[in-house]
Amino acid sequence: MLNITTKHQAIRTYYTELSQFNRLDKDQEGTLKIAFQHLLERCAHQCQWTLVQQQTLKRPTNKHIRLDGVLIDQTHLPRGYWEAKDSQDNLPQQVQKKLTEDNYPQDNILFQAPQRAILIQNGRAHLDLSLDEPAHLVQVLKQFFNFKRPEYERWDLAADEFKGRVPDLAQQLCTIIRQARVKEKAFEVAFSSFAQQCRQAINPNLSDEAILEMLIQHLLTERIFRHILLNAT
């Protein structure tokens, strides 16, 4: 969650850099977008995300597009897209062209020129504001960074719940496996065979405890990812 105000250092720095570029008469897209890039990087750092520049995406029509930036979270999911335009560009026309002709993403993409920003979310223009006002810039950034697709929201909730239950589940599973090794000869034989394969493939010095931990991690996650992959096909 991005928490930022007009008094935030990142906002003040952005307008300072913009002013410096303007004084140097550097008003081209490739120059002025550096100031906004730095601003996005500072905001991304607060959210523990990464701004990946000049990212190429393949579209459904087998066409490739190249975005100025993609915001990636810690789980490597794209959270938002950024496209910078020149101050001489007609921004609404450029947005229309990118969305309709070039098939740019429409879930959460920020089109930005030095004096204006258009934020597209869920296929429609959610904000269209002048960036001359710091309050407008803050509004755009907060709406952009705090947007969540419904499926991402469900994933985050599920991940938080699962993370909270992992220690108890792991302990219960560990107890079950330890008891089975003592009480069931066939299980102990199978575990010993599995341990031998792990030592041959990974490290001959692996202890039974380390192998038990690997087995528990696999058992806790395998069903989840198998379910996800089956639903994706």
Q: What value does the mean pLDDT of the chain take? A: 83
Residue 39 has pLDDT above 50, yes or no: yes
**Using an 8 Å Cβ cutoff, are 152 and 77 in contact?**
yes
pLDDT digit string (tens) for 46-101? 999 999 998 888 877 767 888 989 999 887 888 999 999 887 778 888 989 898 88
pLDDT in tens, 177-225: 999 999 999 999 999 999 999 899 888 888 998 888 888 888 877 666 5
Percentage of residues in the chain with pLDDT exceeding 70?
83
For residue 108, what are its two tokens? 């959460």
- Sequence-distant (6+) residues with CB within 8 A of 128 are 92, 116, 117, 118, 119
With a CB cutoff of 8 Å and minimum separation 6, the contacts of 177 are 191, 212, 215, 216
Domains of the chain by range and CATH? 9-147 (3.90.1570), 151-232 (no CATH)
Q: Which two tokens stand for residue 91?
A: 């921004």
pLDDT at 169 over 70: yes
Do the beta carbons of residue 49 and residue 71 sit within 8 Å? yes
pLDDT (mean) for 37-41: 93
Q: In this predicted structure, what is the pLDDT of residue 233?
A: 45
* Packing angle, helices 9-23 and 134-145, rounded to 10: 120
Concatenated DSSP letters of 167-210: HHHHHHHHHHHHHHHHH-HHHHHHHHHHHHHHHHHT-TT--HHH
Rounded mean pLDDT of 121-134? 90
